Structure 1
Amino acid sequence: MADWWHEKSLDELSTVQWEALCDGCAKCCLHKLEDENSGEIAYTKVRCRYLQEKTCQCTDYENRSILVSNCIDLRPADLDALNWLPSTCAYRLRAQDLPLPEWHPLVSGNRDSVHAAGVSIRGRAISDEYVHPDGYDEHIVHWVE
């Protein structure tokens, strides 16, 4: 099936297909701040310590929810309520019945296209082991998506 990601709903995806839908940008692994008054989400360039920045992959994916208590497993989540996901996130796009961008690895056929397009966090983040949680606001970023 050539474009299975367009032909199936998120609920119909197998585990392998679900994982393949991830573009590998790793923005979900960045710490985010929420404004108490407006609810606006601000991304920081502070990444989870278990994320290997060069590959944009978790170093212990199977145990991520154990290692990081607030690491969210997107599979069972209500994606429409996860407004902190980047607008380019394939899960968010498909939940909204929107097409994947041309740089998405499933569309381009190249796993590195997300990095070549400058969409991933590769080369733009710092590990949370080097930043005090009270200092995350000093690392807010406004990357073009």
Structure 2
Amino acid sequence: MSKQNEYRARFWENYRLEELNNDEWEALCDGCGKCCLRKIEDADTNEIFYTNVSCKLLDIKTSRCKNYKNRKKLVPDCIILTPENIGEIAYWMPETCGYRRIFYGNSLEPWHPLISNDASSAITSGETIANQAISELDINEEDLEDYIKTDLF
């Protein structure tokens, strides 16, 4: 039995985010890894610019955190997304993000694993940062602006 069979039917359409159990909440993540990319926010316009520089914990080949359970301890500025804080964070999440889409009342993307019933569909559809990002460990922090990308999404 797949984990998806244990979720409530189409929970993302039938329940508010704060009503989801932990497994359902986690299942909204499509595994794109875009939220783990370093971002730069323009202080004047609040515009968000994505870079192709990832958090040091992101596995660039799989678009998954190498130590998800301990990420906040290992990366103190890691933001743990919750139903309680999504309203403050959703604006800088990628437009394709399952959490953002549901928060704003949109449908999940066709390639989202909950829709496709395929855990690897985000990767096979090219919607992840797999093999497109570089680790923050491999750059000089002062050069972060040089890594702004407009063509990642």
For the aligned pair, the TM-score class normalised by the smaller chain equals over 0.9
Identity percentage of aligned residues: 40
In structure 2, what is the equivalent of residue 114 of structure 1? 122
| Distance in 1 of aligned mates of 2:148 and 2:84 | 26
Per-residue CA deviations over 1:10-30 (Å, capped at 9, x if unaligned) read: 101111111111000010100
Structure 1 unaligned spans of 5+: none
Structure 1 runs of 4+ aligned residues shifted over 2 Å read: none
Letter in 1 for 2:28: L
Aligned to 1:18: 25
Please name the residue that 2:151 is paired with.
Answer: 143
For structure 2, the residue ranges without an aligned partner over 5 or more in a row are 1-7
What is the rounded CA distance, in whole Å, between the counterparts of 2:127 and 2:30 in structure 1? Answer: 9
Q: What value does the CA root-mean-square deviation take over the aligned residues?
A: 1.3
Q: 1:86 to 1:38 in 2, by over 3 A?
A: same
User: 1:5 Cα deviation (Å)?
Assistant: 1.4
- Deviation (angstroms), 1:119: 1.2
Q: Which amino acid in 1 is paired with 2:77? A: N
Q: Shift of residue 143 of structure 1? A: 2.9
Shift of the alpha carbon at 1:2? Answer: 3.0
Aligned residue for 2:3? none
CA distance in 2, matches of 1:40, 1:95: 20
Matches within 5 A, 1:85-100: 85-100=93-108
Cα shift readout 1:116-138 (whole Å, capped 9, x = no counterpart) = 22211001000000111111111
Give the letter for the 1:29 counterpart: C
Return the letter of the residue paired with 1:132: N
> 1:134 matched to which residue of 2?
142
Structure 2 match to 1:80: 87
Offset, 1:8: 1.0
What is residue 61 of structure 1 aligned with on the other side? Answer: 68
The one-letter amino acid of 2:54's match is R
SS at match of 1:31: strand
Task: Specify the SS of the correspondent of 2:40.
Answer: strand
Map Cα deviations across residues 43-73 of structure 1 (whole Å, 9 max, x no partner): 0000011111111111111111111111011
- Under a length normalisation based on structure 2, what TM-score does the superposition of the two structures give? 0.90
- How many residue pairs are counted as aligned between the two chains? 145
Quote the residue 1:32 is aligned against. Answer: 39
Q: Structure 1-normalised TM-score?
A: 0.94
Provide the rounded CA distance (Å) in 1 between the counterparts of 2:120 and 2:34. Answer: 15
Residue 7 of structure 1, aligned match among 10, 14, 29: 14
